[in-house]
Structure 1
């Protein structure tokens, strides 16, 4: 099959002329993604629910890279709002090539202490919101008949049974299986669907669960010695959407600084080395 690299693409602007919508992109990881897409040449739609001023600021940053940027409010827990977001983004940009499902919600309580309303909100935003965005976005891409990319921002917590996060763990596990199934179903339309698993990323959302002092303290204990940055997740999304990556679909890109590696075991190795050295003295 012949390459589908567009004539306008270049190494510095691999997504030039493409059009992307990113859910939950006024803050945090979504902000990093939408800015990275703009840097790569894509026109973008920034979605927000309650942070309009931040969304407007992100749009201004994106326009600074010479692309068109639009801002649309939509609650990802509302299926009709998600459909409206996709329709309005497509109309505003004159088409759609890239869909990034990023918006999420989480509260952390043990299962037996959880409020059912919190569980429902987590599932409605993090699972159903992702599903409706992927479904609506995929329909637009299929109707256009020019292929495209869908990226689902999931989490290692879809695999790791993190206590206190049951609903979020459930939602992210569902995200992974949803994306892989969509990759199979959409391959004949030349629509690629991939997953990103961010590690512990430095975002405003983390301040909901940790103090600044605790975050910086724990970051030093990670394999890479720091929290991840949102721009690092953004570059991963650009890589997956780059036409040069057209043979990648149904896969998971983990960007976590090694957090899923058994790095804690290194402490045992180092302790054993110290004991052996002491015994030789």
Structure 2
């Protein structure tokens, strides 16, 4: 895969999977806009690593739930690099509470960032790509939550299910413009965001119960996402790529080593 001469924007790329995607794209030749909401210092560190790799980097602090801020971020990217060729919707927010007890401010914030933020970024990026007339590639980071109704995560589940459908709809609307739109489903990945919900001990114990006996890494996810954006995937649009370590399999029904 090569992204020489390509310019990318990744939302929520100051840490975790987003940061790994930004760095992997830079390793393969892309200039990258690093987006954050409040983690400006982390975003600047990612940008510095991108520059160390010989590529250009732009840091934009913007709340993706603000449509005008997202549209301005796309504008800044084009002003800085000359075009926008690749877009990854990765920014997310999630509160975890049972639906009956949910704080509605947190519930709405989850939907505003995770669903509306994804839509605003996809729409603004697609508009720019269509305007340029050279095609482009968009990847929406979704989740197995799109089809598995995890309890305490209703707002997040709703948002991810919406992302899957919006991406497929965008794919068919944009195919005539040679703008590809795909979905990426990571599994349980070892990111800073998981520390909001679990202790280190819980993460360690939970990882042992997974089919591969470990969590995935952001770097593994980044390689998969970069494939969906690359020319190697030129015939791929409206598709979902899953890298979940087998979580979607009926791993709970595995036979014991003794064959029982």
TM-score class, shorter: over 0.9
Partner of residue 68, structure 2: 80
Shift of 1:191: 0.5
Aligned equivalent of 1:61, options 31, 46, 49: 49
Correspondences of 1:28-39 after superposition (within 5 Å): 28-39=16-27
Correspondences of 1:200-279 after superposition (within 5 Å): 200-266=188-254, 269-270=255-256, 273-274=259-260
* Unpaired runs of at least 5, structure 1: 1-10, 275-281
Aligned equivalent of 1:147, options 135, 156, 177: 135
TM value normalised by structure 1:
0.91
Q: Once the two structures are superposed, what CA deviation does each residue of 1:123-163 show, in whole Å capped at 9, x if it has no partner?
A: 10000000011000000000000000000000000100000
4+ residue runs over 2 A deviation = 271-274
Q: Report the secondary structure of 1:107's partner residue.
A: coil
* Mapped contact 1:40–1:238 kept (Cα < 8 A): no
Structure of larger gyration radius: 1
RMSD: 1.0
Shift of 1:272: 7.3
Q: Once the two structures are superposed, what CA deviation does each residue of 1:218-250 show, in whole Å capped at 9, x if it has no partner?
A: 101111111110011111111111112100111
> Matched residues in 2 for 1:261 and 1:91: separation?
45
> Matched residues in 2 for 1:244 and 1:223: separation?
29
Aligned equivalent of 2:81, options 84, 93, 98: 93
* Unpaired runs of at least 5, structure 2: none
TM value normalised by structure 2:
0.98
Q: Report the secondary structure of 2:251's partner residue.
A: coil
Shift of 1:29: 1.0
